Chains A and B, each alone.
Chain A
Amino acid sequence: MAAKNIIITGMGGQGVLYLTSLMRQALLKKYGAITGYDNRGGAQRLGHVASIIRFEDGFNDEADGCINDGTGSANANNAISQNTAPQSVSTFTRALDFDDGACDYALSLEASELLKFNDKLSGRSLIITDEFIMAPTNIRRADAAYFKFSELKRHFTQITARFIHGDFRNEAKRISGGAQAANLLLLGRFIALSEGALELKDINDFCDARDFNLITRGAQMENK
Chain B
Amino acid sequence: MKDGINDFFTREAGKRLILSGAGAAARGAYEAGAGLVLTYPGSPVVETFDLLASPESPVKDRCAIVINEHVAYHQALGYSLAGGRSFIIMKHVGVNVCADPMHYSAYTGVNGGMVILTGSDPGANCSTGEFDVRFYSLHTHIPIFEPRDFNETVIITKKAFEFSERYKLPVMVVIPSAFCYGVGSALSGGALDIKNGGEFINSRDYTNVGALAVKRHELLAAKIERMRMDEEFGGDGDRDGNGGEKFCGDLSGRFVFNKGALIITSGIYYNFVSEALRELKIDDLNSIYSPALTYPLNIPELLQVFNSHNFEKIIFAEDLEGFLEIQISSFMAHNKINADIFGKNKINGFGELKYPVLKQILSQLLCRSGNNAQISITEINNDNEKDFYLQPLPREGTFCPGCPHRAFFYALNKFISEYDVIGGDIGCSSLPPHFSSWLACMNSGTSIASGVSLSIAGGRGGQSCEKKQRVVSIIGDSTFFHSGMQTIMQCAASNSDQICFILDNGWTAMTGHQPTFTTRPLNESSHDGQRVSIKKILEAFGVKRILEIDPFRVDKFKALLNELFEAKTGAKDFTAVIVRRECRMMAKKREAARNTNDGVKKLFKTLNYQIIKERCAQCNECYSVLSCPAIFKDDGGELYINHDICDGCGICFQICPNGAIAKSEVEYGG
Instruction: Give the contacts of B590-617 with A (CB-CB under 8 A).
Output: none
> At the interface, yes or no: B633 with Cβ under 8 Å from chain A?
yes
Contact of B385 among A67, A69, A118, A134 (CB under 8 A): A118
Produce 1/0 per residue, A54-65, CB < 8 A to B.
000000000001
A97 nearest CB across to chain B (Å): 4
Contact of B624 among A88, A141, A154, A155 (CB under 8 A): A141
Q: Is there contact, CB below 8 Å, between B356 and A96?
A: no
> At the interface, yes or no: B370 with Cβ under 8 Å from chain A?
no
Q: Is there contact, CB below 8 Å, between B190 and A115?
A: no
B417 nearest CB across to chain A (Å): 16
Return chain B residues, CB-CB under 8 Å to A72: 241
| Chain B interface main SS type | loop
Q: Is there contact, CB below 8 Å, between B187 and A86?
A: yes
Instruction: Give the contacts of A67-82 with B (CB-CB under 8 A).
Output: 67-70, 72, 76, 78-82
Closest to B270 in A: A93
Closest to B387 in A: A118
Produce 1/0 per residue, A114-128, CB < 8 A to B.
011011000000000
Return chain B residues, CB-CB under 8 Å to A76: 16
Asked if A38 meets B151 with Cβ closer than 8 Å, knowing A25-B1, A79-B13, the reply is no
User: Among A143-151, A189-197, A213-221, which stretch is in contact with chain B?
Assistant: A143-151
Closest to A146 in B: B393
Produce 1/0 per residue, B1-14, CB < 8 A to A.
11100000001111
Complex alpha-carbon distance, A11 and B388, angstroms: 23
Q: Is there contact, CB below 8 Å, between B396 and A136?
A: yes
Q: Is there contact, CB below 8 Å, between B620 and A36?
A: no
Q: Is there contact, CB below 8 Å, between A48 and B2?
A: no
Q: How large is the interface on A (under 10, 10 to 19, 20 to 34, 35 or more residues)?
A: 35 or more
Q: Is there contact, CB below 8 Å, between B187 and A82?
A: no
A5 nearest CB across to chain B (Å): 11
Q: Is there contact, CB below 8 Å, between A96 and B271?
A: yes
Q: Which of A35, A79, A113, A115 has the most CB of B within 10 A?
A: A35
Return chain A residues, CB-CB under 8 Å to B433: 137-138, 141
- How many residues of chain B get a CB closer than 8 Å to chain A's CBs? 87
Q: Is there contact, CB below 8 Å, between B189 and A173?
A: no
A32 nearest CB across to chain B (Å): 8
Contact of B183 among A24, A45, A78, A92 (CB under 8 A): A24
Complex alpha-carbon distance, A85 and B620, angstroms: 61
Q: Is there contact, CB below 8 Å, between A94 and B271?
A: yes
Complex alpha-carbon distance, A121 and B625, angstroms: 35
Asked if A97 meets B178 with Cβ closer than 8 Å, knowing A136-B393, A138-B433, the reply is yes
Q: Is there contact, CB below 8 Å, between B190 and A34?
A: no
> At the interface, yes or no: A200 with Cβ under 8 Å from chain B?
no
Asked if A33 meets B356 with Cβ closer than 8 Å, knowing A44-B510, A141-B627, the reply is no
Q: Is there contact, CB below 8 Å, between A97 and B355?
A: yes
Q: Is there contact, CB below 8 Å, between B183 and A39?
A: no
Return chain A residues, CB-CB under 8 Å to B355: 95-99
Q: Is there contact, CB below 8 Å, between B400 and A44?
A: yes
Instruction: Give the contacts of B218-254 with A (CB-CB under 8 A).
Output: 239-242, 250
Produce 1/0 per residue, B378-406, CB < 8 A to A.
00010011001111111111111101000
Complex alpha-carbon distance, A119 and B16, angstroms: 34
Q: Is there contact, CB below 8 Å, between B629 and A134?
A: yes
B608 nearest CB across to chain A (Å): 15
Q: Is there contact, CB below 8 Å, between B182 and A37?
A: yes
| Chain A interface main SS type | loop
Q: Is there contact, CB below 8 Å, between A42 and B396?
A: no
B175 nearest CB across to chain A (Å): 11
Complex alpha-carbon distance, A79 and B16, angstroms: 10
Q: Is there contact, CB below 8 Å, between A80 and B2?
A: no
Return chain A residues, CB-CB under 8 Å to B389: 154-155, 158
Q: Which of A36, A154, A178 has the most CB of B within 10 A?
A: A36
B461 nearest CB across to chain A (Å): 33
> At the interface, yes or no: A21 with Cβ under 8 Å from chain B?
yes
Closest to B182 in A: A37
Complex alpha-carbon distance, A135 and B428, angstroms: 20
Complex alpha-carbon distance, A190 and B366, angstroms: 39
Complex alpha-carbon distance, A82 and B1, angstroms: 28
Return chain A residues, CB-CB under 8 Å to B384: 100, 118-119
> At the interface, yes or no: A112 with Cβ under 8 Å from chain B?
yes
Q: Is there contact, CB below 8 Å, between B16 and A137?
A: no
Q: Is there contact, CB below 8 Å, between B398 and A95?
A: no
Q: Is there contact, CB below 8 Å, between A95 and B276?
A: yes
Q: Is there contact, CB below 8 Å, between B627 and A137?
A: yes
Contact of A90 among B126, B185, B270, B632 (CB under 8 A): B185
Closest to A21 in B: B1
Contact of B182 among A11, A22, A36, A115 (CB under 8 A): A36
Q: Is there contact, CB below 8 Å, between A40 and B151?
A: no
Complex alpha-carbon distance, A21 and B47, angstroms: 15
Return chain A residues, CB-CB under 8 Å to B270: 93
Q: Interface residues, chain A, CB within 8 Å of chain B?
A: 11, 13, 21-22, 24-25, 28, 33-48, 65-70, 72, 76, 78-100, 112-113, 115-116, 118-119, 134-141, 143, 146-148, 151-152, 154-155, 158-159, 169, 173, 178-180, 205-208
- 4 additional A-B residue pairs with CB within 8 Å, beyond A42-B126, A43-B509, A80-B14: A39-B125, A45-B585, A68-B241, A207-B2
Closest 9 CB pairs of A and B: A83-B190, A80-B14, A115-B392, A37-B182, A97-B355, A85-B189, A89-B151, A38-B181, A136-B395
